[in-house]
Amino acid sequence: MPEPAKKRVLILGGGFGGLEAARHLERIFKGRDDVEITLISKNNYLVFTSMLAEVVSGSIEAKHVVIPLRECLKRAELKELSIDGLDLGKKTVSCSHPDTGETFLFEYDYLVLALGSMTGYHGIPGAEDFSFPLKNLNNAMVLRNHVIDMFERAELETDPDTRRKLLTFVVAGGGYTGIEVAAELNDYVSASKRFYRNVKAGEVKVVVIDPGDRIMHEMSEGLAEYGLRLLQKRGMEFRLKTRIAGVSKDSVKTEDGSTVDTCTTIWAAGTAPQPVIAALAFADKRGRIEVNEYMEVSGFPGVWAIGDCAVVPDPHTGASYPPTAQHAEREGARVAVNVAASINSKDGDKRPFVYRTMGMLAPLGHRSAVAEIRGVKFSGFFAWFMWRCIYLGKLPGWDRKIRVAIDWLLDMFLPRDIVQLKMEMRQRQNQPQSAVGKS
């Protein structure tokens, strides 16, 4: 007799939510051969984005903030492919290899969408062409080499105005990510300028531009104000209630008519939806998918959405849960339970997603941070120590924990590395390909 067909679970996206969903499904269906789990990701690793700023500053070795997905998966299959299109009616996903362009077509019975988001430039002229995003490991390495290059060029420059332009670093966005990278960058440039004899102390400057009336809206107003005062004392400049009108290779223009002369603009001013999600007919105006309390997509049984690409309702506030890693992880674990309930035809086992945010932590550089855990507020060195302990604990595998701990320990006693690694980096194809043929 022919073997019964396996039930195919397809997870799109290897971020915090997608990986957690795959790992929990592995545990639930351990020992069962009738369920096939496949994770599709454009990279074969998970990057701890909260530590990317420390890669830029040299506090952490680049490869220590990425986790190989294959190490985390026991029986689920991993496919390193770009996702080009979804046909929820036919239950197919079209993909392509990022280097060769070879196309693949996958069929599924159950689908989890966990594709996250991408850098959003909001239509600002020149922002995408002339600014540096900080979304992945390649972005961090490119930015690090560029910052060192600015110092090397400034060392050769005789005109003081040109030198100041080279050594002015603008961060667009005063949210959690923007402040984290700005603070780390400020520490790095302050420590690095002593190696360059022709660089004067007053010529190096980090500027944060944000349209809001305060920084770090994720934090309480008191902690945000504390962070602002602390960073201003360290020489950083803040332009709040200011919108960027355009970015060029040597300046940033704002809507109030002013111009900041700079050769470095770091873009941390929001996110945009993945095109493959935004192209769906039922996506909202921000390109995300609205789901119910079980994270199910209405009108498409057997399809769930989690993480940045989903609007998951929060029963406590009536709004939606914020797109953070801690929420994505919990959503991934819970969606695995609901997928299993559907596979086992036990709808009564489905569980709604209900979660109270543990809190927020924001490092401010120079061994200081702000933190708010369950309504309790911390600041200064203790908050910084708490941040490092918590994030060290989140790293999977003792090998990564040890490597990062050693990096942090050495950073306390050794000078920052100013080696500029000039290398040819092959750019991957990210353009959608027609999906025909393989499965």
What is the model's pLDDT at position 434? 39
* % of the chain surpassing 70 pLDDT: 95
Whether 334 and 229 share a structural domain: no
CA distance 378 to 362: 11
**Residue 86: strand pairing partners:** 93
Averaged pLDDT for residues 111-126: 93
Whether 206 and 154 share a structural domain: yes
Which helix H or strand E contains 408, and what residues bound it?
helix 398-411
Quick check: is 250 in a domain? yes
Tens-place pLDDT, residues 316-328: 888 899 888 889 9
- Could you tell me if 262 and 207 are in contact, meaning their C-beta atoms sit under 8 angstroms apart? yes
What is the model's pLDDT at position 425? 43
Tokens 């420059």 found at: 157
Tokens of 283: 């996506």
**Residue 103: strand pairing partners:** 96
Q: Is the pLDDT of residue 431 over 50?
A: no
Residue 212: pLDDT band by 50, 70, 90 thresholds?
Answer: very high
Tens-place pLDDT, residues 257-307: 999 999 999 999 988 889 999 999 999 988 999 999 999 999 999 999 999
What is the model's pLDDT at position 422? 66
Tens-place pLDDT, residues 65-76: 888 999 999 999
- Could you tell me if 24 and 332 are in contact, meaning their C-beta atoms sit under 8 angstroms apart? yes
Domain count across the chain: 2
What is the model's pLDDT at position 429? 42
Quick check: is 297 in a domain? yes
What is the model's pLDDT at position 433? 41
Question: Model pTM?
Answer: 0.88
Averaged pLDDT for residues 104-117: 95
Tens-place pLDDT, residues 139-153: 999 999 999 999 999
Whether 317 and 331 share a structural domain: yes
Whether 204 and 237 share a structural domain: yes
Q: Is the pLDDT of residue 105 over 80?
A: yes
Whether 184 and 224 share a structural domain: yes
pLDDT, the chain, mean: 89
Closest CA to 116 of 293, 374, 270, 307: 307
Whether 251 and 336 share a structural domain: no
CA atoms within 13 A on the CB side of 114: 34
Residues shown for the chain: 439
Whether 131 and 260 share a structural domain: yes
Domain boundary (236, 269, 302) is at 269
What is the model's pLDDT at position 2? 55
E strands, 184-318, in order: 205-209, 237-239, 244-248, 251-254, 259-261, 264-267, 271-273, 289-290, 303-305, 310-311
Tokens of 268: 């941390």
Whether 237 and 282 share a structural domain: no
- Could you tell me if 301 and 292 are in contact, meaning their C-beta atoms sit under 8 angstroms apart? no
Residue 331: CATH number of its domain:
3.50.50.60
Among the ranges given (108-112, 117-121, 366-370, 416-420), the one the predictor scored with the smallest mean pLDDT: 416-420
Whether 15 and 147 share a structural domain: no
Closest CA to 348 of 333, 338, 336: 338
Tokens 């069929």 found at: 107
- Could you tell me if 439 and 107 are in contact, meaning their C-beta atoms sit under 8 angstroms apart? yes
Tokens of 314: 């929060």
* Residue bearing the bigger pLDDT, 233 or 316: 233
Quick check: is 322 in a domain? yes
Tokens 């080696």 found at: 419
Tens-place pLDDT, residues 2-36: 556 789 999 999 999 999 999 999 999 998 889 99
Q: Is the pLDDT of residue 155 over 70?
A: yes
Tokens 């603008």 found at: 170
Domain boundary (242, 269, 296) is at 269
Whether 276 and 305 share a structural domain: yes
CA distance 123 to 185: 26
* % of the chain surpassing 90 pLDDT: 64
Averaged pLDDT for residues 198-220: 90
Q: What is the DSSP string of 16-51?
A: HHHHHHHHHHHHHTTT-SSEEEEEEESSSEEE-GGG
Q: Is the dihedral of CA 124, 128, 132, 137 positive or negative?
A: positive
What is the model's pLDDT at position 375? 81
Tokens of 49: 């984005």
Residue 202, C-beta contacts closer than 8 angstroms, at least 6 positions apart: none
What is the model's pLDDT at position 57? 87
Tens-place pLDDT, residues 47-58: 888 889 999 988
Residue 436: pLDDT band by 50, 70, 90 thresholds?
Answer: very low
CA distance 116 to 114: 6
Side by side, the strands of the sheet bearing 244-248 are: 244-248, 251-254, 259-261
Quick check: is 407 in a domain? no
Local structure of residue 438 (DSSP, 8 states): B
Averaged pLDDT for residues 417-434: 53
211 CA to centre of own chain? 21
Q: Report angle CA 19, 391, 14 to the nearest 5 degrees.
A: 15
CA distance 378 to 29: 42
Q: Torsion angle, CA of 268/273/276/278, rounded to 10 degrees?
A: -150
Quick check: is 245 in a domain? yes
**Residue 67: strand pairing partners:** 46
Whether 110 and 160 share a structural domain: no
Tokens of 264: 């470095």
Averaged pLDDT for residues 363-388: 90
Quick check: is 378 in a domain? no
Q: Which domain holds residue 303?
A: 7-42+81-119+272-349
Among the ranges given (178-182, 219-223, 250-254), the one the predictor scored with the smallest mean pLDDT: 219-223
Amino acid making up residue 224: A
Q: Is the pLDDT of residue 115 over 80?
A: yes
Whether 167 and 201 share a structural domain: yes
CA distance 247 to 263: 10
Quick check: is 310 in a domain? yes
Amino acid making up residue 270: G
CA distance 284 to 281: 9
Quick check: is 319 in a domain? yes
**Residue 174: strand pairing partners:** none
Domain boundary (235, 269, 303) is at 269
Q: Is the pLDDT of residue 250 over 90?
A: yes
